[in-house]
Amino acid sequence: MRYLVLSDIHANLTAFHAVLSDADARRLHPDDLWCLGDVVGYGPDPNECVERLLSLPCYTCLAGNHDWAVLDKLNVETFNDSAMAAILWTRTQLTPDNLRFLDAQPSRKEIDGCLLVHGSPRHDIWEYISDTEIAADNFPLLTQPVCLVGHTHVPMIYVEDARTRAVRAVHPEHDVPLTLKRTNRYIINPGSVGQPRDGDPRAAYGLYDTDTAQWTTYRVPYNVRETQMRMHAAGLPPKLALRLEYGR
């Protein structure tokens, strides 16, 4: 099976469209799409992103911390000022149906040898796997050989060696498939569709092919200016719009 894996769309419809078109243009032909949470928050198109997801022939979606904050399942005060402003704005925008959709998404799923969570196996929603030490703490909690996470907005692969249990980080090369060893275990982050933070403003996503055990990270440019203009029109914090240009 081939899975299109994406995360942290963050209400950026232009970036989401670019990813879906790029996957089509590359003829990736996924059997399913896995979205690892944070469909909304930060960006100007919360309803449109939920509805685009719903319009796909198949998808699996998880809850993220911004989704939960919008639903008041997490305390919005724990977010920084601009993130909080965007969450409060998003609450005023989402239709009751789309709020119900977000509310119905689980915080973890196990499918086809993969554990899917937004944050980490230790704390589904909230923990950032941002270095090898945190990854090493989480490997013992893996219930499947491969764990797919989002939340940091940085594409990354952590590998646990089957023999030594040593954990190392591999920065994925874009467009280059990495064959996963069946004996090792992996924590893989596809990066963010709508708000990349690795210094590359292009939207990020991945493809996992369970038949060939290959993971590929892809990047696709999108019209950042278009998203920024809608953010300004919505009155969202200017610094959230600006950071899209830098991928930070």
Q: Which residues contribute to the site for Zn ion (CB under 5 A)?
A: 8, 38
Closest distance to Zn ion from the beta carbon of 48 (Å): 18
Phi, psi of 93, deg, nearest 5: -100, -40
Closest distance to Zn ion from the beta carbon of 151 (Å): 6
Nearer to Zn ion, 8 or 209 (CB): 8
Nearer to Zn ion, 79 or 186 (CB): 79
Helix (H) or strand (E) holding 35: strand 32-35
Nearer to Zn ion, 8 or 127 (CB): 8
Closest distance to Zn ion from the beta carbon of 38 (Å): 4
| DSSP symbol at 174 | B
DSSP SS3 for 11: coil
Find the Cα–Cα–Cα–Cα dihedral 161, 164, 168, 170, rounded to 10°: -30
Task: Show Cβ contacts of residue 103 under 8 Å, excluding neighbours closer than 6 positions.
Answer: 71, 73
Closest distance to Zn ion from the beta carbon of 233 (Å): 22
Nearer to Zn ion, 8 or 45 (CB): 8
